[in-house]
Structure 1
């Protein structure tokens, strides 16, 4: 029978490493083959290929209308990213049936992904999936189907000015208990940049002032927020992916975090360009105050896929230390070292007055301070000549004669 002759029918994707799952990004070419193994001669119809990728969201909400009446409302939406169809085996033009001999038969295929895609995702109320389906038509039998899923990861490069910018914030809260003021709790926190990749460590710099009569406990966590959008309604799901707990702060004391480390676990990247599904991250610093609500400070994060370059890491740490954006064109290293300036141009009275004057508004006050500017400036001027006891330019005899006081 025909059913017995079809031993194997699968979709295989070409990957550099056979053991690793197939992963692609937008604009890349997807190549593979449909493998068909027959135990005997078989008469077959058309073999069609369909590649599809979409984002789907769906959830239900129960609402009560009165004491005994309730109804359920459903929300759902879909966005298609990919739809490619291809015929790998077509029946002859005269309407006859294609006959294949026993053995292994491969039908290669290739297609290019669109330039706009979203990263694969699996959530509680939605998903973003990509797959390839092969459909084999057979006379006097039901069609045979094979399916192969693949993963899409959209690259997010954190080596961009927006994601290398430091993030900082401050908040305070008046602790109350039974209509009595217990004091003020304030927190200020800062991280060196906005973009990170899984496996990196986020150094947290924070100051917590506890001016209350109670002991408070500082905490920090990375929060993932999944947002599902359908018919103008949003559904969110928040979860903690990593957290740390600091030491207790007694009443009237201050705690300082000098780069408290919080490691990012292996989580999916941020999804910001999909219309129905968003995946966002944030660093949340929390102060647990007994007897009242907690104090929260939130700093945005973006989890990327392209890690920080070594040069970007150095510049980002410097910018976070001085909290300024250094103009690299203005502080560029010249090709030929300049001669050192004259003493008169450095120590003139006008120069001293300008040095003591407040800095110009269009230049950051601390842009030319610190060891980094000294490191750049040491390449701008040639070093002074070596010290010697012998004068290399002795005075001439005419210049050495004593002048007459009466002249």
Structure 2
């Protein structure tokens, strides 16, 4: 029997080219083989690989010679292999036509998000190999994307971030005054497409005009053999108006939108991807005043109530600190008792509406659904009577 050739040999994933995976899921697909004639096969296997790798060169001069140092490191996250046609030492003859071989892998519970950088990458792929006697092996390969979830609904990422810096404006030996900067954002974690409201105060005590700016910077850090290589890129920017000498400027929530960027990579030993909000003030004649607030770009967006309950108190204090949630100057008086009791107790109903469905449960903390009233606060405690009785009403001694 004369052996024929392979007409097509391809590999397909169940989720298609645009699908992404995460740790703990199953990677499913199939190998498609079309033979033009009966085909002798020794083995057919698929192998999944994934890991991070970094590499760069650094040159230095030694006398008149140039010496290059090679830095490289690697870390493996995924290594799986599955036999679709066993390698038993004997050949298997497949009839002519189309053949389909399904496969399935269990991904490890923890992976690192796919990434492509100048000096390193995190890549995942699956490869099918067809072994035939006396014929070079035939291979088919597919690359798939892994996106590990980064949930920003945690207390650490919902906490406000703030800082303050100051700098003396100098040129040569002259002192031109002090420039101070303070900035604050409502939380540390954001997702692509969200808007960062930037609150800042710029106090220009110098004799020159200064220009405030804010940028979101991505820092890629590659590590190998104890050395580091960094690459920074500005992904979003915001420019303010010049602040004149002796003037003060306030940013009451200037918006800075996050573009479509990859999430933060914080748990890889050979490369990191970090983000930061940098608020700076350009001072003519001297180095700029820079304030850096850390950011984490996540994949799980902010939840409306339940996941933010831990940050309600901190966010309220954040607004109060920056004058965005102050109480009214003249708080309203509480309602009379009759106004509340007559309309509720007389009918015999509860002041709170009763849900129509008894099985329905509120999503989020209960206090988020209670209407807030700002009543006049009670008077301060004092040992002296603020309303002493008059002389006519004051009791007299019987002997007087």
Do both proteins adopt the same fold according to a TM-score greater than 0.5, normalized to the shorter chain? yes
Evaluate the alpha carbon distance shift between residue 261 and residue 269 of structure 1 in structure 2; reply closer, same or farther with a 3 A threshold: same
Deviation at 1:115, TM superposition (A): 1.5
Evaluate the alpha carbon distance shift between residue 377 and residue 22 of structure 1 in structure 2; reply closer, same or farther with a 3 A threshold: closer
Evaluate the alpha carbon distance shift between residue 212 and residue 2 of structure 1 in structure 2; reply closer, same or farther with a 3 A threshold: farther
Residue correspondences, number: 329
Deviation at 1:5, TM superposition (A): 2.9
Give SS of 2:193's match.
Answer: coil
**Corresponding position of 2:73:** 77
Structure 2: how far apart are the matches of 1:162 and 1:3? Answer: 64
Evaluate the alpha carbon distance shift between residue 41 and residue 272 of structure 1 in structure 2; reply closer, same or farther with a 3 A threshold: same
Give SS of 1:238's match.
Answer: strand
Evaluate the alpha carbon distance shift between residue 378 and residue 177 of structure 1 in structure 2; reply closer, same or farther with a 3 A threshold: closer
Deviation at 1:99, TM superposition (A): 1.2
Give SS of 1:271's match.
Answer: coil
Task: Provide Cα deviations, 1:328-380, integer angstroms capped at 9, x if missing partner.
Answer: xxxxxxxxxxxx9x9xxxxxxxxxxxxxxxxxxxxxxxxxxxxx99967769x
Task: Provide Cα deviations, 1:113-163, integer angstroms capped at 9, x if missing partner.
Answer: 112211000000000000001110012210001101101111010000000
Contact 1:192 1:317 survives alignment (8 Å) = no
**Corresponding position of 1:62:** 59
Contact 1:56 1:276 survives alignment (8 Å) = yes
**Corresponding position of 1:291:** 285
**Corresponding position of 1:11:** 11
Gaps of 5+ in 1: 325-339, 343-371, 380-405
**Corresponding position of 1:301:** 295
Structure 2: how far apart are the matches of 1:316 and 1:300? Answer: 18
**Corresponding position of 2:218:** 224
**Corresponding position of 1:319:** 314
1:124-273 → structure 2 map (5 Å cutoff): 124-273=118-267
Evaluate the alpha carbon distance shift between residue 3 and residue 315 of structure 1 in structure 2; reply closer, same or farther with a 3 A threshold: farther
Contact 1:192 1:316 survives alignment (8 Å) = no
Task: Provide Cα deviations, 1:26-75, integer angstroms capped at 9, x if missing partner.
Answer: 11111111111122221122001110001000000001123x12200000
**Corresponding position of 2:345:** none
Contact 2:3 2:40 survives alignment (8 Å) = no
Give SS of 2:132's match.
Answer: coil
Deviation at 1:319, TM superposition (A): 2.6
Deviation at 1:277, TM superposition (A): 0.6
**Corresponding position of 2:39:** 42
Contact 1:53 1:131 survives alignment (8 Å) = yes
Task: Provide Cα deviations, 1:233-268, integer angstroms capped at 9, x if missing partner.
Answer: 111111100001101111111110000000000000
Deviation at 1:3, TM superposition (A): 9.9
Deviation at 1:323, TM superposition (A): 3.7
TM-score where L is the length of structure 1: 0.76
Gaps of 5+ in 2: 320-334, 338-366, 375-397
